[in-house]
Amino acid sequence: MSLKELTFEHHRNAERQEFVKVLMGGNIDPKLYATFLYNQYVDYNILETVAMASGVLNDLPDIRRAPKILEDYTELWGDTVNPPKQLASGKEYADHIMSIAGDPDKLMAHIYTRHMGDLSGGQMIRKRVPGAGKMFDFEDPESLKTAIRAKLNDSMADEAKICFEFATKRFQEMMDEVK
């Protein structure tokens, strides 16, 4: 089985969350989306910082999303002094990433889960959300997908499932922001 097949149910569970429907609905409130972006920025920044320090991002040109997510967030939020609240899953995610900092395969599982999502489904999301959607801009998406796939192995499945569980929790927390 491939990593994609091994993580299919966790991926599907994340995609079935109510917030994904709000995100894909085409009329998400810009401030709500900015809150989501801010929290994504925190997650991506810690992941990419640790992954870079571990050499995991070597040979992955144009992989970093955190700076682009920050641009998208700033465009929509405007006020850089008073950011939205950081959701609980962000602290938990940062703690988890720090706990696996010495394991390149586990870090790569998170890169796979998050960044391949941006390269694939993210292209549909960008058409439905406010703002420029710079986080979904890639210089050469097909080459980047190929380079990511070359670094994957099936032993990453358990960690990729953990990343999908964090995504699911984030989507659930974002629904609390909707209510």
All structural domains of the chain, each given as residue ranges with its CATH number in brackets, are: 3-79+86-178 (1.20.910.10)
Q: Residue 36's pLDDT is what?
A: 98
- pLDDT mean across residues, the chain: 96
pTM: 0.96
Per-residue pLDDT at 99: 98
Let me know the angle formed at the C-alpha of 136 by 133 and 138, rounded to the nearest 5 degrees: 130
Calpha distance 159→179 (Å, rounded): 31
pLDDT of 175 > 80? The answer is yes
- Please report which confidence band the pLDDT of residue 75 belongs to, taking 50, 70 and 90 as the band edges: very high
pLDDT tops 90 at residue 113: yes
Residue 23: pLDDT above 90?
yes
Mapped onto helix, strand or coil, the DSSP state of residue 21 is helix
pLDDT exceeds cutoff 90 at 178: no
pLDDT at residue 177 in the model: 85
Residue 29 pLDDT > 90, yes or no? yes
- Mind giving me the DSSP string for 89-151? HHHHHHHHHHHTTT-HHHHHHHHHHHHHHHHTTHHHHHTTSSS--GGG--SSHHHHHHHHHHT
- What proportion of the chain, given as a percentage, has pLDDT over 90? 93
Q: Answer yes or no: are the C-beta atoms of 107 and 47 closer than 8 Å.
A: yes
> How confident is the model over 127-156, as a mean pLDDT?
96
Residue 87 three-state SS: coil
Amino acid of residue 175? M
